[in-house]
Amino acid sequence: MRNHCPHAWHQQQHRGRMWAASPAFRRRLFLLRSLSSLPGNAACSSSPSPSTSIRVNAMSASGPVYEADAEAVVRRITPPLDRARHKGQAGKIAVIGGCREYTGAPYFAAISALKVGADLSHVFCTRDAATVIKSYSPELIVHPILEESYSVSDGEREYVSSRILTEVAKWMERFDCIVVGPGLGRDSFLLDCVSNIMRHARQANIPTVVDGDGLFLITNNLSLVEGNLLAILTPNVYEYKRLVQKVLNCEVNEENASEQLTALCQKIGGITIMWKGKADIISDGKTVTQVSTFGSPRRCGGQGDILSGRFVANVVLSVSFCIFASWARHFLLTNEYPTEKSVNPMMLGCIAGSLLLRKAASHAFEKNKRSTVTTDIIEFLGKSLEDICPAGH
């Protein structure tokens, strides 16, 4: 029998709209559309609108590496500012990292997410790091739940590990993307707990960007990301060298960089990797492209947290990937598929994040020259995005 109560009907409609806007719904819809675009499925066969086309200009793995049309990617996937949107629809991210030695990196990562345009930014860190990170900014939501070996006895480890995972799991479904590694450190117990978090995020189909000490973790445990098409690795020159040695059992080959990177992606099951350097080379094992827009020659203090390689940011860049990858996935969900039906939102996120960070570094160096520091670059993230994609359009 039809419900004639107007209040009940409006409540039901409101719940439906909230669910349709939730990260969990978007992730499930993305997976369904991805499956239906496989050979033999009839879905997504209608002709797409030309206005939704995204061209990455990426060549096959065996061909030369071409420059990505990064500005076009940024313009296409950046969501417009809309009064009808509610808090959280522009992105909710989580940074998994921060211990008593390293508190700057998770802060830089989390605040950069807000500067790029995310609505909410969380940090899951150790208790020792939480108060320090909270003192940096009231904008961040800080969860002091991680533990290191020195604070947990051998008999408590299993219980504490389970408690940590349970606490993180309460929040996980709310996130559009997570970043693992900034300021994580290499404590064995802490890394074990983060490994459990990564497995849970994978089961929940949440995109995961791995950077910093997170790359140390996965290099020694490749199963954490192997075959995960929603994973992005962002190694600098040293981290990339360790990955190549571990996975391909050889040294880095500069002359055949694109072929080797593509082989590395394929060997780890088709994940997306961006090798950071003078030019950022990006591959998902199928295509390869690069972004080489000039950034800054400044090697400021804290390069392990923001600048790596030669001219490109590290932690801030990984969060830019996180935001742009989630925006790219949302774009592909809310529009007809582009002509290139195999377009990978993780690749788009890397391209957009790389360009944005390079432009921010360039602006910061133009203003501050030799005195440029990490926070200067972060302050120019908004201007860099505005230059490419004005908020009024």
104 is in an annotated binding site: no
358 is in an annotated binding site: no
240 is in an annotated binding site: yes
237 is in an annotated binding site: yes
Helices (H), 58-187: 70-77, 104-116, 127-136, 157-172
280 is in an annotated binding site: yes
87 is in an annotated binding site: no
CB atoms within 10 A of CB 158: 10
CA distances from 172 to 176, 219, 241, 341 (A): 9, 24, 32, 29
284 is in an annotated binding site: no
Q: Which amino acid is at 198?
A: M
236 is in an annotated binding site: yes
Per the document, the length of the chain is 393
Rg (CA), the chain: 21
Tokens for 168?
Answer: 């993180």
CA dihedral 291, 292, 293, 298 (to 10 degrees): 120
* DSSP-assigned letter for residue 222: G
241 is in an annotated binding site: yes
- What's the rounded Cα separation, in Å, for the pair 57 and 77? 16
277 is in an annotated binding site: yes
367 is in an annotated binding site: no
305 is in an annotated binding site: yes
Q: Which amino acid is at 261?
A: L
176 is in an annotated binding site: no
For residue 186, give the 3-state DSSP assignment: coil
- What's the rounded Cα separation, in Å, for the pair 385 and 393? 12
For residue 71, give the 3-state DSSP assignment: helix
328 is in an annotated binding site: no
- What's the rounded Cα separation, in Å, for the pair 197 and 125? 12
15 is in an annotated binding site: no
Backbone phi, psi, residue 43, to 5°: -65, 155
Backbone phi, psi, residue 33, to 5°: -70, -35
Q: Which of 106, 135, 131, 132 is nearest to 121 (CA)?
A: 106
16 is in an annotated binding site: no
Residue ranges for the binding site for ATP? Answer: 276-280, 295-304
Residue ranges for the binding site? Answer: 183, 236-242, 276-280, 295-305
Residue ranges for the binding site for (6S)-NADPHX? Answer: 183, 236-242, 305
